[in-house]
Amino acid sequence: MRARLTLLVAATTVLLLLAFLVPIALLVRQVAADRALSRANDVVQTIVPLTADEAALRLAVTVQPVPVSVFRPDGSVLGAPAATTPAVRLAALRRQALTVVTDAGRELVVPVVGAGGVTVVRTVVTNEQLTSGVRRAWLLLSGLGLALVLLGLLVADRLARTIVAPITELSRVSHRLAGADLTARAEPSGPPELREVAGALNHLATRIQDLLATERERVADLSHRLRTPLTALRLEAESLRDPDESARVQSAADGVARAVTAVIQQARRRDSAPAAAQSDAVAVVADRAAFWAVLAEDTGRVLTQDLPSSPLPVAVAADDLAAALDALLGNVFAHTPDGTPFAVGLGPGPGGGAILVVSDEGPGFPANAVSRGASGGGSTGLGLDIARQVATSFEVGSSPSGGAMVRLTLPGTRQPQ
């Protein structure tokens, strides 16, 4: 923008200078030519009254600042030697003063009618005399024009800087706000319109802070509201007679408590740049698959696992990856009938990271399943969105058997340089 403003001012300045300097330059040339012709005409007019006095005429033609030739009626030439030109013959014939343009310049001829015939006084104004001082005047005008253009560029650059600098500052602050640095504020400066935009941006940042603070408090209240039902659930689990079933229910309750705690901690986190997350995808997927395998056995489902034998690090927190996989497997149990087989596959990605695939042999996805908040099964519709948040790419489709298939590409960890 700064360059464009400078270019605009430069173009405007050049056009204005051309509009003024070109006519001035032409006028200077015309004035120089008129001055030279006027000087030559004055010389000729001083000679004309002396044509009747031979002695005075001979003396006068020798002291003039420009060469003057006097053509007598008898064919003799006084003053500067010169041949009889067509202009001289035409002036003598018409008995009329003429100014003729020639290759050498301008030829002035004035006829004088006397008793013995017509005497013609002739002088020539050369091209150098016609343009005397014009080149220097044009150079001065060009220098003046160049100086004005440079001055205009300097003023335009200063003006553009006063406009662009606040815009750059607003852009920097907006990027900081986009990067979760809600403490960023813009310093109002520049034109009134930009100061108003800076004030609006600061008001927006403050409003976002207020909304997030309110949201954190609401999420924090969730911990107190869930303490009582979770405690009751643990007590109910301890009262079960079957030790295995009691341990399974307690483990599920502990998982819910951990998930709620993680959500609360994440909501209350005030860091603008969270630390880089990392986990072993093989370990997390194997742990969650083992958890869901028990429920799969109870509902008559066959779980097929395809996991690598070596660790597979990904740039996703273990809790987030576990929550994403739980959301996908929870959808399998919620939207397919008992006895439906399903599979969990994990493999390395082509550019690092990992590829997680969850598929089943159920009826497949409804048409609006990929929309956030949309569900065809009476749920919240956020299960797929939870899984989408941990992946760099998210694909849904059909499994080879015609059921549902979800493919997540998990980001890889950065290797140290």
**Tens-digit pLDDT profile for residues 275-333:** 567 899 999 999 999 988 988 888 899 999 999 999 999 998 888 888 889 888 888 88
Sheet hosting strand 68-71, strand order edge to edge: 77-79, 68-71, 117-126, 105-114, 98-101
Distances (CA, A) of 250 to 131, 262, 368: 108, 18, 35
pLDDT confidence bin for 372, thresholds 50/70/90: very low
Would you say the C-alpha torsion 312, 273, 172, 213 has a positive or negative sign? positive
Residue 85: half-sphere exposure toward Cβ, Cα within 13 Å: 22
pLDDT at 10 over 90: no
Same domain, 333 and 377: yes
pLDDT at 24: 92
Q: Looking at residue 64, which CATH number applies to its domain?
A: 3.30.450
Same domain, 260 and 338: no
pTM recorded for the entire structure: 0.46
Instruction: Name which of 170-184, 298-312, 368-382, 398-412 the model is least confident about.
Output: 368-382
Place of tokens 């040339």: 29
Q: How many domains would you assign to the chain?
A: 3
**Tens-digit pLDDT profile for residues 135-151:** 999 999 999 989 988 88
pLDDT at 416: 41
CB 278 within 8 A of CB 413: yes
Quick check: is 155 in a domain? no
Return the percentage of the chain with pLDDT > 90, whole number. 19
Q: CA-CA distance, 332 to 37, in Å (whole number)? A: 106
Final residue before a domain boundary, out of 134, 149, 168 = 134
- What is the domain range of residue 316? 279-410
- Residues sharing a CB contact under 8 Å with residue 143, sequence separation 6 or more, in sequence order: none
Same domain, 293 and 264: no
Residues 48-54, mean pLDDT to the nearest whole number: 83
Tokens of 289: 């698959």
Same domain, 50 and 116: yes
**Tens-digit pLDDT profile for residues 222-281:** 666 776 677 777 777 777 778 877 887 877 777 777 777 766 666 655 544 445 678 999
Tokens of 325: 């996989």
Same domain, 27 and 121: yes
**Tens-digit pLDDT profile for residues 92-109:** 888 889 999 988 889 999
Quick check: is 176 in a domain? no
Quick check: is 382 in a domain? yes
Sheet hosting strand 404-410, strand order edge to edge: 303-306, 342-348, 354-360, 404-410, 393-398
Quick check: is 331 in a domain? yes
Residue 105: half-sphere exposure toward Cβ, Cα within 13 Å: 18
Residues 385-390, mean pLDDT to the nearest whole number: 79
pLDDT confidence bin for 167, thresholds 50/70/90: confident
